[in-house]
């Protein structure tokens, strides 16, 4: 079976060259006689793999020296709790922007630890756009401002970085980190589950400004305190070693491509190609305001849900998989992360046009 173009929202495609390198190194990593998954996390081989991955990520994102890069488990969902536990820092309140399904979950979890001010919401228009800066009603007492730059389910992406009024800005970048350059200094903390755009599931990356670490809520468990990871090079306990290694290979792949500036050009082209095909069709519809459309997750509907099964079946036969939309939104969703080749998007557009000719 040839490899398919997999449009899954996550876990998602990995670059083929990364998988091939992992395959080559599977039984014997660089003369060690071991698979990386068999290595002690405290041995010199794995320590070198871990350090190289961090250095490459720092280079790709130009992460300043006063930020820590932490490699954790627990997914972005665990960060929904760790962020308030560590960043409320004696404050009682935080500002959250409510822009889709993942923000809602982050808000619900934060409410367990403090009071949440919803500084903006687009729920009244079914999360079809990002709010503009002038809509944000920030609370002077907030300990931090949290938002979701790319809402993976609704396909809504902020076209700008909000001004948090001097408060630490916290971003759930699970489905957008590494898709384009970001100015890390605008943020207090960035987190991302790896399985969308970074590597395999099981690894979560946190980039946090040092001064925000070290004042967790009383009773915070050791494993939920950022300090534990910062003080121990993310090796207080056994880290997800194999996922860390694969993420490192992805970072090298990105560097080889020319870094995030080069990746952004490719991603913009992929997204434009797909949105242009949707808008030109009169058959497919994307509900998101053009300025807030995601580069990574493209939901679209057909004229009738009755056509969905035929679309999914036909796409699968053409080697295009996992296009079914999220159960809360319906229709289709094409996730086109970094590892989705341009040829995959071209193949999808060609299939969509043919499907429209037959059914339109
Ligand atoms: C997938 C996703 C999550 C949940 O990630 P887990 O790693 O499964 O906890 C949270 N936020 C965003 C934006 C996501 O895309």
Atom of ligand 1 nearest to the CA of 75: 7
Quote the CA–CA distance of 24 and 333 in Å, as a whole number.
33
Quote the CA–CA distance of 342 and 47 in Å, as a whole number.
35
- Please give the DSSP secondary-structure letter assigned to residue 223: G
Quote the CA–CA distance of 329 and 327 in Å, as a whole number.
6
Catalytic position from the list 56, 196, 253, 270: 196
Atom of ligand 1 nearest to the CA of 152: 15
Q: In sequence order, what DSSP letters do the residues of 65-105 get, joined into one string?
A: TTEEEEEESSHHHHHHHHHHHHH-TT--EEEEEE-SHHHHH
Quote the CA–CA distance of 260 and 89 in Å, as a whole number.
33
Catalytic position from the list 56, 68, 95, 102: 102
Whether 344 lines ligand 1, by a CB cut-off of 6 Å, is no
Whether 174 lines ligand 1, by a CB cut-off of 6 Å, is yes
Does residue 1 have a pLDDT over 90? no
Q: For residue 172, indicate whether it is catalytic.
A: yes
Which domains does the chain carry?
Answer: 5-10+259-359 (3.90.1150.10), 17-256 (3.40.640.10)
Does residue 188 have a pLDDT over 90? yes
Alpha helices in the chain (DSSP H): 16-24, 44-61, 75-87, 101-110, 226-231, 241-257, 259-281, 308-317, 342-359
Mean pLDDT in residue range 198-220? 98
Quote the CA–CA distance of 198 and 296 in Å, as a whole number.
13
* pLDDT tier for residue 310 given thresholds of 50, 70 and 90: very high
Per residue in 46-60, pLDDT (tens digit) is: 999 999 999 999 999
**Would you say 158 and 130 are in contact if contact means Cβ atoms under 8 Å apart?**
yes
Per residue in 84-132, pLDDT (tens digit) is: 999 999 888 999 999 999 999 999 999 999 999 999 999 999 999 999 9
Whether 157 lines ligand 1, by a CB cut-off of 6 Å, is no
**Would you say 110 and 59 are in contact if contact means Cβ atoms under 8 Å apart?**
no
Query: Residue 172 corresponds to which tokens in the numbers above?
Result: 């759930």
Annotate 239-265 with b (16+ C-beta within 10 A) or e (fewer): bbbbbbbbbbbbbbbbeeeebbeebbe
Which among 263, 283, 281 is positioned nearest to 271, based on CA atoms?
Answer: 263
Which element (helix H / strand E) includes 298? strand 297-300
Per residue in 131-186, pLDDT (tens digit) is: 999 999 999 999 999 999 999 999 999 999 999 999 999 999 999 999 999 999 99
The mean pLDDT of the chain is 97
Collapsing DSSP to helix, strand or coil, 117 comes out as strand
pLDDT at 80: 98
pLDDT at 257: 98
Q: Give whole-number Cα distances, 22 to 49, 235, 334, in Å.
A: 13, 23, 26
Quote the CA–CA distance of 18 and 251 in Å, as a whole number.
10
Which among 323, 340, 252 is positioned nearest to 56, based on CA atoms?
Answer: 252
């Amino acid at each position: 079976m040839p490899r398919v173009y997999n449009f899954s929202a996550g876990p998602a495609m990995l670059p083929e060259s990364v998988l091939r390198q992992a395959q080559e190194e599977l039984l014997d990593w660089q003369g060690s006689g071991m698979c990386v998954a068999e290595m002690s996390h405290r041995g010199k081989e794995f320590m070198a793999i871990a350090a190289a991955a961090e250095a490459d990520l720092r280079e790709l994102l130009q992460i300043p020296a006063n930020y820590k890069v932490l490699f954790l488990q627990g997914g972005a969902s665990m960060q929904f709790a760790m962020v308030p536990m560590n960043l409320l820092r004696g404050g009682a309140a935080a500002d959250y922007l409510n822009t889709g399904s993942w923000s809602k979950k982050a808000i619900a979890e934060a409410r367990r630890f403090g009071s949440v001010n919803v500084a903006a919401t687009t729920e009244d228009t079914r999360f079809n756009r990002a709010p503009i800066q002038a809509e944000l009603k920030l609370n002077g007492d907030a300990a931090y401002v949290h938002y979701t730059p790319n809402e993976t389910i609704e396909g809504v992406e902020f076209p700008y970085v909000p001004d948090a009024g001097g408060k630490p800005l916290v971003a759930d970048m699970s489905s957008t980190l590494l898709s384009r350059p970001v100015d890390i200094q605008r943020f207090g903390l960035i987190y991302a589950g790896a399985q969308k755009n970074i590597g395999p599931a099981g690894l979560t990356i946190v980039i946090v400004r040092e001064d925000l670490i070290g004042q967790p809520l009383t009773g915070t468990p050791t494993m939920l305190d950022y300090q534990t990871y910062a003080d121990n090079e993310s090796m207080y306990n056994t880290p997800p070693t194999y996922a860390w290694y694969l993420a490192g290979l992805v970072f090298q792949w990105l560097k080889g491509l020319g870094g995030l500036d080069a990746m952004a050009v490719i991603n913009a082209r992929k997204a434009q190609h797909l949105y242009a095909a949707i808008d030109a069709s009169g058959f497919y519809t994307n509900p998101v305001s053009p300025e807030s459309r995601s580069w990574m997750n493209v939901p679209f509907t057909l004229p009738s849900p009755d056509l969905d099964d035929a679309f999914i079946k036909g796409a699968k036969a053409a080697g295009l998989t996992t296009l079914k939309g999220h159960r809360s939104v319906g229709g289709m969703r094409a996730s086109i992360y970094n590892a989705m080749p341009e040829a995959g998007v071209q193949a999808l557009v060609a299939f969509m046009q043919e499907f429209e000719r037959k059914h339109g």
